[in-house]
Structure 1
Amino acid sequence: MTSLLQILLMILQLAQFVIIIHIIMSWLINFQVLNLRQPLVYQIWNGLERLLAPIYDRIRSVLPNLGGLDLAPLIALLAIYALRIVIINNFAAF
C-alpha cells in the first residue's frame, strides 16, 4: 500500500512540475525571451497546451471572467496541493 501512495504522490508531483513549467514558459513567451517561431519552443509549448487545456478549460468554466488575468494554473496547483494533503493525512485509514 505504501508503494501505491508513493506512485500517486509522484504523479501529483509530476503534474505540479508540468504546470509550473507551463507558467514559467508563458512568462518567458510574453516577455519575448522565448520565440514561438523556433520549432523546439513551439513543440514544447504546443504539447504543454494540449496536455493542460482540458484541466484549465474545466477550471475556466467555473471562474468568472477576469479579463487578461488567468487564474486557472493557480487553482490547478492549489487543487493538487490540497489533494496531496488529503491523501497524506488519510493514508493511515487504509
Structure 2
Amino acid sequence: MFDQHKSILVEIQKKREVMINLARQKGLNSEDTLKCSQELDQLIYQYQAFFRQKQQHRDNRKRKIDFIIYSPNRRFKPATRLIALTIH
C-alpha cells in the first residue's frame, strides 16, 4: 500500500514539472498544457481516492467498535478491552 502511495506521489510530481515546463514554453492555454493539467488532475484524484478509501476503512472499524461499546448486551469493561485490541 505504501508503495502505491509513494508511486502516485512521484507521478504527480513528474506530471507537475512537465505541466509547468509546457506552460512556460507554450502558454497556459495551449492544448498540450491543458491536457497535461487534466492528467495531473486525474493523478491527484487517484491519490485522494486512495486516502478516502483508507479513511472509510478506519471509519467502518470505528463503527463496529462503537456498536460493541454501546451494545446493551455487553458490559463496558470487556468492550474497552476489545477496543484496545482492535485499534492496534
Output the TM-score relative to the length of structure 2: 0.41
More helix by share: 2
Larger RCO, structures 1/2 (Cα 8 Å, 6+ apart): 1
Output the TM-score relative to the length of structure 1: 0.39
Larger radius of gyration: 2
